[in-house]
Amino acid sequence: MRRLHEALFKTGGILVLGVFIYSGCSSPEERFAENIEQANVNLENGEVERAISVLEKLKSKSPNEPQILEALAFAFVQAKEYFTGAFYFNQLAQSFPSKTDYYLYAAQAWISAGDSDSAIRDYEAYLLDNRTDWNTWQKIGDLYLETRQNSKAIHAFSNSSQLRFNPKLELKASSLALQTGNLRQAEEGFSRLLMVEEEEIARQAHLKLVTIKHKRRQWEEVEKLMVEIENRFPEATESPELKQVNADIMTYQKAIEQEQKVKLEEDDRRKRLIEQQRARAEQLARARLAAAAEAENKPEEPEEVPPSELAIVEEEVIKNEKAPESPAQSLPTPPVSPEPPLEKSPFEKALEAARQIASTSSENAISRYWNAINLGDSSGVAFFELSRVYYNRTQFKEAEMTALEALRRAPASNRFLLSYLQIIRKTKPKPEIVGEIRKFLNKYPQNADLVLLLARIYAEPGGDTVAARGLYNLFFEMAPNHPEVDRARYEARGI
């Protein structure tokens, strides 16, 4: 900077000095305004070094004057001294927290200086109070991607696209999510792009979404998407991305056809067997009627039976009495080959892998539970078990989120509901917990567990003892044989 000052005074010092001499007859405020104006004129004329010299002289007299610091910051940026400009913008941002735009200017200066980490830091500070700035979300997303912070990049791009829908940015975020294994977010993003007007974006969204469905073995969804691709992008059906999908869908269709064929054959065999049994039963019934009619018309004559044969006949009668023969049993039973054990689905295998280490390595178990969830947890079981792992690790917010996902998939599950209500006792204040329980109690008025839970909350110190007694009595009426009834009676007596 000393060199800049020397150059300034050699080339234009007379002009600057004239300003200060001429200003000597004015008031301090007027002199300050005139010098600021002179610096602005110098900047407009491209005389950046001269402007910086004027401003630094002013700063030496008023080191904390924001107007001088701001002018200096812009002057240094114009002089391509980006580090110094960013430093002044940071100083202004810390001195005037309400003016968050200084963080934005600082970040832009850091980018020009090639310091991505500092730019990210200042963009993050700016976005704390400007979360609706879609353009800045996109810029920080690019920086996250540049510094290989992929998860943060996905989050930033998604925020930007939600604030101002941008199909290209949505495709970028979803593709990045797919690359990093976040199938759920990738699936949601590609699904939003299926109906966009931009043909190439819609085509890529279809192709990538069908690969996700293919990976999860969701064959009905794969078939549906393949029909859409064939109708809208017929040339894409032969693309390399779909080669394996086409092969597997054909195998799936053949397996379905074979399964239907076997089912039809089994139905036919069952029908033939029923017809045979019916015919045999009718034949036996006719034979019995004929024998009875003949016995009525012909008097019985005692028959001499040797003792040895009599013993054999009695033995057969005893056996027949013990195991009477039915028409169905009289037919030969076709040999039935034992059914092979059902192969576990990818989801079941992933869930089993998570369960095996849940009690010994909860951190690895969390990762494996998410693998299972990415394969498709329609029952909510994986979310439920993952919420218990989070709860045991005292990660209560994560536990609440996953418990809610489990309950959303199986709203009628009392086990999921009670687990969720147990978890929110760690995350919500008591009035909100009571409100949640009452909401579910209105939905399930016969649920005695909810009545007991509400009674226990009211019975806590500082609670409503009258309401607690009433709820305990209601619980005793609703569920006299409930496993908790003895403990509940003990609790009620202590109110």
- Categorize the per-residue pLDDT at 401 as very low, low, confident or very high, splitting at 50, 70 and 90: very high
Where is pLDDT greater, at 245 or 424?
A: 424
What pLDDT sits at residue 38? 75
- Categorize the per-residue pLDDT at 268 as very low, low, confident or very high, splitting at 50, 70 and 90: confident
- Categorize the per-residue pLDDT at 448 as very low, low, confident or very high, splitting at 50, 70 and 90: very high
What pLDDT sits at residue 273? 66
Q: Which of 16, 28, 23 is nearest to 55 (CA)?
A: 16
Where is pLDDT greater, at 437 or 232?
A: 437
What pLDDT sits at residue 53? 80
- Categorize the per-residue pLDDT at 340 as very low, low, confident or very high, splitting at 50, 70 and 90: low
What pLDDT sits at residue 26? 56
Write a three-state SS string for the chain. Answer: CHHHHHHHHHHHHHHHHHHHHHHHHCCHHHHHHHHHHHHHHHHHCCCHHHHHHHHHHHHHHCCCCHHHHHHHHHHHHHCCCHHHHHHHHHHHHHHCCCCCHHHHHHHHHHHHHCCHHHHHHHHHHHHCCCCCCHHHHHHHHHHHHHCCCHHHHHHHHHHHHHHCCCHHHHHHHHHHHHHCCCHHHHHHHHHHCCCCCCHHHHHHHHHHHHHHHHHCCCHHHHHHHHHHHHHHCHHHHHCHHHHHHHHHHHHHHHHHHHHHHHHHHHHHHHHHHHHHHHHHHHHHHHHHHHHHHHHHHCCCCCCCCCHHHHHHHHHHHHHHHHCCCCCCCCCCCCCCCCCCCCCCCHHHHHHHHHHHHCCCCHHHHHHHHHHHHHCCCCCCHHHHHHHHHHHHCCCHHHHHHHHHHHHHHCCCCHHHHHHHHHHHCCCCCHHHHHHHHHHHHHHCCCCHHHHHHHHHHHCCCCCCHHHHHHHHHHHHHHCCCCCCHHHHHHHHHCC
What pLDDT sits at residue 236? 74
What pLDDT sits at residue 310? 36
Are the beta carbons of 203 and 215 closer than 8 angstroms? no
Are the beta carbons of 362 and 354 closer than 8 angstroms? no
State yes or no: pLDDT of 361 exceeds 80: yes
What pLDDT sits at residue 488? 93
Where is pLDDT greater, at 425 or 236?
A: 425
d(C-alpha 178, C-alpha 187), whole Å? 8
Please list, in sequence order, all residues whose beta carbon lies within 8 angstroms of the beta carbon of residue 469, skipping any fewer than 6 positions away. 492, 495
State yes or no: pLDDT of 467 exceeds 50: yes
Tell me the pLDDT tens digit for each residue of 223-242: 888 888 888 888 877 777 77
Mean pLDDT, range 265-269, rounded to an integer: 73
Q: What percent of the chain has pLDDT over 90?
A: 40
What pLDDT sits at residue 425? 93
Output the CA torsion 97→99→100→103 (10° steps).
Answer: -90
What pLDDT sits at residue 285? 66
Could you give the angle at the alpha carbon of 247 between the alpha carbons of 246 and 248, nearest 5°? Answer: 95
Mean pLDDT, range 171-182, rounded to an integer: 88
What pLDDT sits at residue 384? 95
Where is pLDDT greater, at 233 or 128?
A: 128
Please list, in sequence order, all residues whose beta carbon lies within 8 angstroms of the beta carbon of residue 99, skipping any fewer than 6 positions away. 92, 93
Tell me the pLDDT tens digit for each residue of 284-323: 666 667 666 655 665 544 444 344 333 333 344 334 444 4
State yes or no: pLDDT of 385 exceeds 70: yes
d(C-alpha 241, C-alpha 252), whole Å? 18
Q: How far is CA 82 from CA 45, 46, 73, in A?
A: 20, 17, 9
Range in 39-43, 116-120, 330-334, 400-404 with the lowest mean pLDDT: 330-334
Amino acid at 299: P
What pLDDT sits at residue 9? 27
State yes or no: pLDDT of 474 exceeds 60: yes
d(C-alpha 492, C-alpha 438), whole Å? 20
State yes or no: pLDDT of 380 exceeds 80: yes
Mean pLDDT, range 244-264, rounded to an integer: 72
Are the beta carbons of 440 and 423 closer than 8 angstroms? no
Range in 49-53, 146-150, 207-211, 478-482 with the lowest mean pLDDT: 49-53
- Average pLDDT along the chain: 80
Mean pLDDT, range 440-464, rounded to an integer: 92
Mean pLDDT, range 21-26, rounded to an integer: 41
Range in 134-138, 334-338, 449-453 with the lowest mean pLDDT: 334-338
Tell me the pLDDT tens digit for each residue of 70-110: 888 898 998 899 999 999 999 999 989 899 999 999 999 99
